[in-house]
Amino acid sequence: MASKSSPLLSLLFALLALLPLVSAAFGFTSSGNNYIVDAGSADPLIFTLSKSSCDISSIKFRGNELQGSSGKGTHISSGLGSATVSVSTVTAAGARVIRIECATSTLTHYMAVREGESKIYMATYITAEPSVGELRFIARLNKNVLPLEHPFGEVSSTLDSSTAVEGSDVYLVNGQTRSKFYSSERYIDEDAACVYGLNTPEAIHACILVPQRESSSGGPFFRDINSNRVGDSTNLYNYMNSGHVQTEAFRVGLHGPYLLQFSRSGIPKKREVDTSFFADLNVKGYVPASGRGTVTGRASGVPSSFQTVVHWFNSNAQYWTYPSSTGAFTSPLMKPGTYTMVLYQTEFKVATTTVSVSAGSATTKDIASTLSAPAKSLLKIGEYDGQPTGFRNADKFLRMHPSDSRMSSWGPLTYNVGSSSSSDFPMAIFKSVNNPATINVNLASAPGAATLRIATTLSFAGGRPSVSVNGWNAPTPAAPAKIDSRGVTRGAYRGHGEVYDFKVPAGTLVAGKNTITIGVASGSDGATFLSPNYIVDCIELFT
């Protein structure tokens, strides 16, 4: 009898798992040194918050404990240590909200839970950068319930690593290089960063969503850590400021709102997130829609084969958008102020202007590319797109270390104009690995004076091009602005984007075969892939 009924029982249990669990009433209670917060949602979310540190020590979703077992909390940076924590129930945009404020001398972290939603909304206000140099939120979650990562899978999981490849953040796992840095995505493209489980014991997603990064730094193409699986937990991050290839000063003020969302219905979309109720929460630095303005206009001059991006920034905020196919654009809602306005050909800067934004109004400002084609191009490798697109290993380096066995040989390589493809030229030239790269080009006639232009995206340890043309050595250019961070080994390529023009004297280029070598100049040294280097965007010889 039991054996005949077991399939029915299995079906019943499966159906019950799909039904919402019963949660306690919406609200919060005090329990010793903690607050217990209940979202009152159909899929119950209950979490435990320290009254003294603002650490979250337990997150229960549908009865599953999602907090990791490392003993470390879910919190800002590596934990505030101590904070003045206050919790209250308020009404915001017509809904009941549990408002949490965790205050220190230079940082106030806010959390908000709307009745019936399995979400923890957050915002972080700072008057100074944390002493550790990074402003981040980290959720340290249960690796047994949430073992998988979205959108890039195992590339950032360093669980079961056998060897440290570089520092304390790049490891070898089952013969492949892994790093938390390989989970990054361009700010302009990022949506939800999630960790999830499939039937362990049931499908659950935990996701970080950041609708607007107006107070972060680095612009639309900056990228930072989103997730990784390591030790006793699967971690989700919202890096707001970090020294990971930092190209501009950190911004203080309000970072967010952003949220940690739990669901059984798959991956949420940040465009569906509504945080306007923060206007009723008395949050420092929050500027509602009524206190903002927009910029509208048309971007022109970028060929259709490239992305068109418009970017606005000043010391207080940053914004960006993709114009439509006709070039028409409307900016996100922006804080009032005067902004630098930049037009990009994918990621290559092609125009700059300024614009002022006023609250409650739309400012009209067009922008057009100033990039012009040379009179005559003698050779061109790559395109001016601000990325190492098409060059060797450019299709791999975002998700693996340059030493990875899946990488193609770095060389030194020789590129023969007319028979080689762009993948025969390395995306990066390292002083101690593939220095120099060689280009052979046959010219029908001697062209006279010419310019060799080398556009780069990122420099490490002062690396910049050194050039020789048929034995003529070009003057060494000045060192680029220093970025105190590893780049290509962390899957990063977006720096200041230096462009070097080498003036080749008349008589240097000849009819027939010409040999150009491009190496690395730097006053520094280093081993293998941590030697001075730069990433290549485009190489062009023209008159």
Q: What is the pLDDT of residues 467-480, one digit of tens each?
A: 999 999 999 999 99
Cα 419 from chain centroid (whole Å): 36
**pLDDT reading at 6 higher than 50:** no
| 294-300 and 367-368 strand pairing | parallel
* Closest C-alpha to 229, from 143, 166, 165, 171: 143
**DSSP secondary structure of 220-276:** TT-----EEEETTEEEEEEEEE--TT--SPPP-EEEEEEEEEEESS----GGG---G
Distance CA 316, CA 332 (A): 15
Omega prior to 20 cis, within 30 of 0: no
Place 457 in a pLDDT band, splitting at 50, 70 and 90.
very high
Q: What pLDDT score was predicted for residue 24?
A: 63
Structural contact between residues 520 and 435, judged by C-beta atoms closer than 8 angstroms = yes
* Closest C-alpha to 264, from 145, 163, 346: 145
Q: What pLDDT score was predicted for residue 2?
A: 35
Share in percent of the chain as helix, strand, coil (round to 5): 10, 45, 50
Q: Take residue 458 and report the two structure tokens written for it.
A: 């990122």
**pLDDT reading at 15 higher than 50:** no
> Kindly report the CA angle at 328 between 327 and 332, in degrees rounded to 5?
120
Percent of the chain topping pLDDT 70: 95
363: buried, middle or exposed (CB in 10 Å: 19+, 13-18, 0-12)?
A: middle
pLDDT single digits (tens) 45-71: 999 999 999 999 999 999 999 999 988
SS3 state at 283: coil
- Give, rounded to a whole angstrom, the gap between the first and last alpha carbons of the chain: 90
112: buried, middle or exposed (CB in 10 Å: 19+, 13-18, 0-12)?
A: buried
Structural contact between residues 384 and 390, judged by C-beta atoms closer than 8 angstroms = no
To the question of domain 21-280 being in CATH 2.70.98.10, the answer is yes
Place 22 in a pLDDT band, splitting at 50, 70 and 90.
low
Distance CA 120, CA 335 (A): 25
- Identify the weakest region by mean pLDDT among 22-36, 289-303, 502-516: 22-36
Instruction: Kindly report the average pLDDT of the chain as a whole number.
Output: 94
Place 7 in a pLDDT band, splitting at 50, 70 and 90.
very low
Question: Domain map of the chain by residue range?
Answer: 21-280, 293-368, 377-542
**pLDDT reading at 543 higher than 60:** yes
* Closest C-alpha to 497, from 189, 222, 93, 266: 222
**What is the mean pLDDT of the segment spanning 353-381?**
97
**What is the mean pLDDT of the segment spanning 399-408?**
98
> Kindly report the CA angle at 538 between 437 and 531, in degrees rounded to 5?
45
- Identify the weakest region by mean pLDDT among 180-189, 224-233, 508-517: 224-233
Beta bridge partners of 312: 319, 341
Q: CATH number of 293-368: 3.30.70.1380, 3.60.10.10, 3.40.50.12780, 2.60.40.1120?
A: 2.60.40.1120
* Closest C-alpha to 441, from 380, 374, 503: 380
pLDDT single digits (tens) 219-230: 999 999 999 999
**DSSP secondary structure of 298-329:** EEE---TTS-EEEEEE-SS-EEEE---TTSEE
Q: What pLDDT score was predicted for residue 223?
A: 96
Distance CA 305, CA 298 (A): 18
The phi and psi torsions of 140 (rounded to 5 degrees) equal -95, 100
**pLDDT reading at 243 higher than 50:** yes
Provide the edge-to-edge strand list for the sheet that holds 34-38.
27-31, 34-38, 45-50, 56-61, 64-65
Level-2 CATH architecture, domain 377-542: Sandwich (2.60)
Sequence-distant (6+) residues with CB within 8 A of 475 are: none
The phi and psi torsions of 14 (rounded to 5 degrees) equal -65, -40
Distance CA 227, CA 209 (A): 12
**What is the mean pLDDT of the segment spanning 303-311?**
98
SS3 state at 290: helix
pLDDT single digits (tens) 123-179: 999 999 887 778 999 999 999 999 999 999 889 999 888 899 998 999 999 999 999
Number of Cβ within 10 Å of residue 429's Cβ equals 28
**What is the mean pLDDT of the segment spanning 292-302?**
98
Q: What pLDDT score was predicted for residue 293?
A: 98
pLDDT single digits (tens) 410-429: 999 999 999 999 999 999 99
